[in-house]
Amino acid sequence: MTVQPLVSTSDEASPTIAIYRQLRGLILSGQLGADERLPTVRQTAADLGVAPGTAAKAYKMLEQDGLVVSRTAAGTRVAASAAVLPGSVIRRIRELVDEAGATGADRDDVLNVLRVVWQAEAGGVPL
């Protein structure tokens, strides 16, 4: 599998975080299934135009979250225990993406609003 830059690493303060978020999203959405092999760190770095150390840090973060398992001979694979979001949540996210795209909404604006709404709801602060 080749990692395509779904989220440009230039959009984030840290390319490591951008790679981490991209791969985490692929795993949690079920687009990368349990035991599926991720590209090598070097391949990910080359595909995304970052240093291998940057990609390695992102992989380490995924491993610390229990989403991937790294083995010397077997490479890095999605952990069997990696939970995916419920299908209903994935459907609603896809609907949001489709609707935002159809209306010409800016991706970063949609993501920022989603984060603000999520934080407000988590903190019990009504908008």
What the chain holds in terms of domains, given with CATH numbers, is 9-78 (1.10.10.10), 87-122 (no CATH)
Residue corresponding to tokens 């975080």: 17
Beta bridge partners of 70: 76
Q: Within a 13 Å sphere around the CA of 49, how many CA atoms are in the beta-carbon half?
A: 6
Q: For residues 81 and 61, give the distance between their C-alpha atoms in angstroms, rounded to a whole number.
A: 16
Question: One digit per residue, pLDDT tens: the chain, 127 residues?
Answer: 545 544 444 554 699 999 999 999 999 888 888 888 999 999 999 999 999 999 999 999 999 999 999 998 889 999 988 867 766 777 788 899 999 999 999 999 999 999 999 889 888 766 6
Q: Is the dihedral of CA 115, 109, 83, 60 positive or negative?
A: negative
Could you list the beta-strand ranges (E) of the chain.
Answer: 68-71, 75-78
Can you tell me whether residue 77 is helix, strand or coil? Answer: strand
